[in-house]
Amino acid sequence: MKNAFAMMAIATLALAACGSGVRSSSPADAFMAGLAGHCGQAYAGRVVVDEPASQDDPFAGKSLVMHIRECGDTALRIPFHVGEDRSRTWVLTRTATGIRLKHDHRHEDGSEDAITMYGGDTTADGTTMRQEFPVDRESIALFERAGLAASTANVWAMEIEPGKRFVYELARPGTERLFRVEFDLTRPVAPPPPPW
Protein backbone atom coordinates (compact mmCIF):
# COMPACT_ATOMS: atom_id res chain seq x y z
CA MET A 1 0.00 0.00 0.00
CA LYS A 2 2.83 2.39 0.87
CA ASN A 3 4.49 1.69 -2.51
CA ALA A 4 1.23 2.44 -4.31
CA PHE A 5 0.93 5.74 -2.40
CA ALA A 6 4.53 6.62 -3.22
CA MET A 7 3.98 5.92 -6.92
CA MET A 8 0.86 8.12 -6.89
CA ALA A 9 2.84 10.93 -5.25
CA ILE A 10 5.60 10.64 -7.88
CA ALA A 11 3.07 10.67 -10.72
CA THR A 12 1.25 13.65 -9.18
CA LEU A 13 4.47 15.67 -8.89
CA ALA A 14 5.39 14.88 -12.50
CA LEU A 15 1.91 15.82 -13.77
CA ALA A 16 1.91 19.04 -11.75
CA ALA A 17 5.26 19.97 -13.27
CA CYS A 18 3.93 19.30 -16.78
CA GLY A 19 0.81 21.36 -16.09
CA SER A 20 2.85 24.31 -14.91
CA GLY A 21 5.01 24.39 -18.02
CA VAL A 22 8.03 22.98 -16.19
CA ARG A 23 10.13 20.35 -17.96
CA SER A 24 9.03 17.06 -16.39
CA SER A 25 12.51 15.57 -16.88
CA SER A 26 14.30 18.37 -15.02
CA PRO A 27 16.67 17.63 -12.12
CA ALA A 28 14.22 19.43 -9.79
CA ASP A 29 11.37 17.09 -10.78
CA ALA A 30 13.56 14.02 -10.36
CA PHE A 31 14.79 15.26 -6.98
CA MET A 32 11.24 15.88 -5.71
CA ALA A 33 10.09 12.52 -7.07
CA GLY A 34 13.00 10.80 -5.33
CA LEU A 35 11.84 12.21 -2.01
CA ALA A 36 8.16 11.56 -2.72
CA GLY A 37 9.08 7.92 -3.31
CA HIS A 38 9.66 7.71 0.46
CA CYS A 39 6.38 9.43 1.38
CA GLY A 40 4.97 8.31 4.70
CA GLN A 41 8.29 6.90 5.85
CA ALA A 42 10.52 8.10 8.69
CA TYR A 43 14.28 7.66 8.99
CA ALA A 44 16.88 8.05 11.73
CA GLY A 45 19.86 10.31 11.19
CA ARG A 46 23.13 11.43 12.68
CA VAL A 47 25.26 14.55 12.50
CA VAL A 48 28.24 13.73 10.25
CA VAL A 49 29.81 17.23 10.12
CA ASP A 50 29.50 20.14 12.57
CA GLU A 51 32.31 22.64 11.98
CA PRO A 52 33.17 24.54 13.98
CA ALA A 53 31.64 22.48 16.76
CA SER A 54 28.84 24.26 18.62
CA GLN A 55 29.34 25.03 22.30
CA ASP A 56 25.64 24.54 23.08
CA ASP A 57 24.84 21.89 20.46
CA PRO A 58 21.06 21.30 20.46
CA PHE A 59 21.58 17.98 18.62
CA ALA A 60 24.10 16.39 21.02
CA GLY A 61 22.87 13.11 22.47
CA LYS A 62 19.43 13.44 20.84
CA SER A 63 17.71 11.10 18.42
CA LEU A 64 17.31 12.69 14.97
CA VAL A 65 14.36 11.60 12.81
CA MET A 66 13.02 12.96 9.52
CA HIS A 67 9.49 12.04 8.45
CA ILE A 68 8.40 12.57 4.84
CA ARG A 69 4.92 13.20 6.13
CA GLU A 70 3.00 15.13 3.45
CA CYS A 71 3.35 14.80 -0.31
CA GLY A 72 1.10 17.16 -2.24
CA ASP A 73 0.86 18.08 -5.90
CA THR A 74 3.80 20.46 -5.78
CA ALA A 75 4.99 20.44 -2.16
CA LEU A 76 6.53 18.12 0.42
CA ARG A 77 6.47 18.67 4.19
CA ILE A 78 9.21 16.90 6.12
CA PRO A 79 9.22 17.27 9.92
CA PHE A 80 12.69 17.00 11.47
CA HIS A 81 12.50 15.80 15.09
CA VAL A 82 15.39 16.41 17.49
CA GLY A 83 14.74 14.26 20.54
CA GLU A 84 11.34 15.36 21.91
CA ASP A 85 11.56 18.69 20.03
CA ARG A 86 9.01 18.64 17.19
CA SER A 87 9.38 22.31 16.23
CA ARG A 88 11.08 21.93 12.83
CA THR A 89 9.54 21.14 9.42
CA TRP A 90 11.28 21.44 6.06
CA VAL A 91 8.88 22.61 3.35
CA LEU A 92 9.91 21.95 -0.25
CA THR A 93 7.80 23.56 -2.98
CA ARG A 94 8.20 23.10 -6.73
CA THR A 95 8.36 26.52 -8.43
CA ALA A 96 8.33 27.44 -12.12
CA THR A 97 12.14 27.58 -12.12
CA GLY A 98 13.22 25.09 -9.45
CA ILE A 99 12.55 24.28 -5.80
CA ARG A 100 11.96 26.49 -2.75
CA LEU A 101 13.07 25.38 0.73
CA LYS A 102 11.52 26.96 3.81
CA HIS A 103 12.05 26.11 7.48
CA ASP A 104 8.76 26.14 9.39
CA HIS A 105 9.52 26.55 13.12
CA ARG A 106 6.73 26.30 15.71
CA HIS A 107 6.25 26.32 19.45
CA GLU A 108 4.67 23.39 21.26
CA ASP A 109 1.26 25.11 21.15
CA GLY A 110 1.49 25.29 17.35
CA SER A 111 2.15 29.03 17.17
CA GLU A 112 4.91 30.31 14.88
CA ASP A 113 8.37 30.93 16.25
CA ALA A 114 9.79 34.44 15.78
CA ILE A 115 12.36 32.90 13.42
CA THR A 116 10.35 30.86 10.92
CA MET A 117 9.71 30.35 7.20
CA TYR A 118 13.27 31.22 6.26
CA GLY A 119 15.15 29.61 3.40
CA GLY A 120 15.66 30.18 -0.28
CA ASP A 121 15.10 29.09 -3.87
CA THR A 122 17.41 27.11 -6.09
CA THR A 123 19.28 29.42 -8.49
CA ALA A 124 20.74 26.66 -10.66
CA ASP A 125 19.39 23.39 -12.05
CA GLY A 126 21.25 21.28 -9.52
CA THR A 127 21.17 17.54 -10.08
CA THR A 128 18.72 14.72 -9.48
CA MET A 129 20.68 13.99 -6.29
CA ARG A 130 21.60 17.47 -4.94
CA GLN A 131 19.81 20.81 -4.77
CA GLU A 132 21.19 24.01 -3.19
CA PHE A 133 19.15 26.85 -1.70
CA PRO A 134 20.95 30.19 -1.18
CA VAL A 135 19.33 32.42 1.44
CA ASP A 136 16.62 34.67 -0.06
CA ARG A 137 16.07 38.39 0.56
CA GLU A 138 13.09 37.83 2.83
CA SER A 139 15.16 35.54 5.05
CA ILE A 140 18.10 37.96 5.10
CA ALA A 141 15.75 40.70 6.36
CA LEU A 142 14.37 38.33 9.01
CA PHE A 143 17.86 37.38 10.20
CA GLU A 144 18.97 41.01 10.32
CA ARG A 145 15.92 42.01 12.40
CA ALA A 146 16.69 39.14 14.79
CA GLY A 147 20.38 40.04 15.13
CA LEU A 148 21.52 36.85 13.34
CA ALA A 149 23.95 38.49 10.89
CA ALA A 150 25.97 35.29 10.35
CA SER A 151 22.89 33.56 8.92
CA THR A 152 22.56 36.10 6.09
CA ALA A 153 25.15 34.07 4.14
CA ASN A 154 23.44 30.70 4.59
CA VAL A 155 23.27 28.19 1.76
CA TRP A 156 21.24 25.09 2.50
CA ALA A 157 21.47 21.91 0.47
CA MET A 158 19.70 18.59 0.34
CA GLU A 159 20.94 15.38 -1.21
CA ILE A 160 19.11 12.14 -1.91
CA GLU A 161 20.24 8.75 -3.10
CA PRO A 162 16.82 7.03 -3.25
CA GLY A 163 16.85 3.89 -1.19
CA LYS A 164 20.25 4.77 0.31
CA ARG A 165 20.62 8.12 2.09
CA PHE A 166 19.30 11.64 2.51
CA VAL A 167 21.44 14.60 3.62
CA TYR A 168 20.49 18.01 5.01
CA GLU A 169 23.29 20.57 4.90
CA LEU A 170 23.91 24.14 6.05
CA ALA A 171 27.01 25.98 4.82
CA ARG A 172 28.22 29.57 5.02
CA PRO A 173 30.54 30.28 2.09
CA GLY A 174 33.58 32.30 3.09
CA THR A 175 33.50 30.85 6.60
CA GLU A 176 34.34 27.49 8.11
CA ARG A 177 30.70 26.76 8.98
CA LEU A 178 29.43 23.42 7.69
CA PHE A 179 26.67 21.32 9.22
CA ARG A 180 25.48 18.01 7.72
CA VAL A 181 22.96 15.46 8.97
CA GLU A 182 22.74 12.12 7.14
CA PHE A 183 19.69 9.84 7.25
CA ASP A 184 19.77 6.13 6.44
CA LEU A 185 17.03 5.43 3.88
CA THR A 186 17.65 1.67 4.02
CA ARG A 187 16.04 1.37 7.47
CA PRO A 188 12.66 3.03 8.02
CA VAL A 189 11.77 3.71 11.64
CA ALA A 190 8.39 4.13 13.32
CA PRO A 191 6.90 7.49 12.28
CA PRO A 192 7.10 10.04 15.10
CA PRO A 193 4.14 12.04 16.43
CA PRO A 194 2.95 14.99 14.30
CA PRO A 195 5.05 18.17 14.36
CA TRP A 196 3.95 21.04 16.58
Helices within the chain (DSSP H only): 2-19, 27-36, 137-145
pLDDT score for 24? 53
pLDDT score for 3? 43
Instruction: State the Cα–Cα distance between residues 39 and 55, nearest whole angstrom.
Output: 35
pLDDT score for 33? 95
pLDDT along the chain (196 residues), means of 10: 43 42 74 96 97 86 97 96 98 97 98 98 97 98 97 98 95 94 98 97
Nearest partner of 184 among 65, 7, 31, 9, judged by Cα: 65
Q: What are phi and psi of 96, to 5 degrees?
A: -65, -25
The answer to whether 87 and 78 are in contact (CB under 8 A) is no
pLDDT score for 162? 86
Q: Which residues pair with 160 in a beta bridge?
A: 166
The answer to whether 27 and 127 are in contact (CB under 8 A) is yes
